[in-house]
Amino acid sequence: MNKIIERIKKLKAEKNAIILAHSYQNIEIDQVADFVGDSLYLSQMAKQTKADIIVFAGVYFMAQTAKVISPEKKVLLPNLNAGCLMADMINLHQMIDFKKSHPGLPVVCYINSTAEVKAECDICCTSSNALEIVKSLNSPKVLFVPDANLGKWVESKLNNVNVITYDGNCPVHNNITTDDIENARKKYPDAKILIHPECKPEVSILGDYIGSTSGIIDYVKRSNDKKFVIVTEKGVYDRLRRDYPDKEFILIRDNMLCESMKLTTLDEILYSLENEVNEITLDDDVRKRSAGCIERMLKVSK
């Protein structure tokens, strides 16, 4: 393992490469990553980096996003099977049909979507900035794709804004029930319950804090509390346990695993960087149109 890590670090220096890793990745990948965080943070880092090569330890739509906003860079995805079930719930034709059924409305696209879908949208968002993005449109009605739960959570936070949602979701978060939260509240009455807004609205409302992966991590960092129930993917729980050994963390369910996020290994990162394989490519027209969607988000969330 140490030899693999040393080899990756050596190759990064030789090739002017960086590794971006999402917080849901296997925790050992942090040992070679230059930046670890949520989708907004990683998008910002992909935009700002002076590296020639970006190795994305994440899933396909994330690597696509990096290529969209940094087309001059070589973007590698170590495991091409690392997809996103939510992103797969809407394709280009479904996106076009959804817009046609609600003509003339601005379209907000969650970052968990393909470049082809983003190309049909007005502005992108992440769970970190979804509320801010929808507010920035100053529209009484907004289309939101593909995550219905996040869209309805945003709607609940705004007065007089109707967020019309596509029927998509993250299965990991969508499977959490109100019973899960109520049982955790009874079992751990002294714990704060931190919930990702990809959960159903009736679940999210029961939390002490609702926010993105980075928001949850920051909440723990700032909090004087010592016990937390984590209601999001296990990678966040693993990092919190590592980084805050003086605090106690309970994962809401043992099965809070995004299997695609766990596909990437250190061996695959080494192989992709060594051989510069699994490069992300995009149709130029799609890239340009989806770039506008993402760039508008980055201007709002600087």
pLDDT in tens, 54-69: 999 999 999 999 999 9
Q: Answer yes or no: is 156 within a domain.
A: yes
Q: Which of 146, 170, 194 is the last residue of a domain?
A: 170
Q: What is the pLDDT of residue 296?
A: 95
225 shares a domain with 275: no
Q: What is the pLDDT of residue 40?
A: 81
Range of the domain at 18: 2-83+261-300
Rounded mean pLDDT of the chain?
96
Cis check for the bond before 71: say yes or no (omega within 30 of 0).
Answer: no
296 shares a domain with 246: no
Q: Answer yes or no: is 226 within a domain.
A: yes
231 shares a domain with 274: no
With pLDDT > 90 as the criterion, what percentage of the chain qualifies? Answer: 96
124 shares a domain with 72: no
Q: Helix crossing, 39-48 with 60-69: angle to 10°? A: 30
Q: What is the pLDDT of residue 301?
A: 84
Euclidean distance between the first and final Cα of the chain, in Å?
Answer: 37
Instruction: Write the pLDDT tens digit of every residue in 248-284.
Output: 999 999 999 999 999 999 999 999 999 999 999 999 9
Q: Which of 170, 198, 225 is the last residue of a domain?
A: 170
What is the CATH classification number for the domain harbouring 284? Answer: 3.40.50.10800
165 shares a domain with 97: yes
Residue 150 has pLDDT above 90, yes or no: yes
Contact of 16 with 53, CB cutoff 8 Å:
yes
Q: Answer yes or no: is 256 within a domain.
A: no
75 shares a domain with 53: yes
Domain total of the chain: 3
Provide the whole-model pTM.
0.95
Q: Which of 137, 170, 203 is the last residue of a domain?
A: 170
186 shares a domain with 159: no
Q: Which two tokens stand for residue 176?
A: 């959490």
Q: Answer yes or no: is 21 within a domain.
A: yes
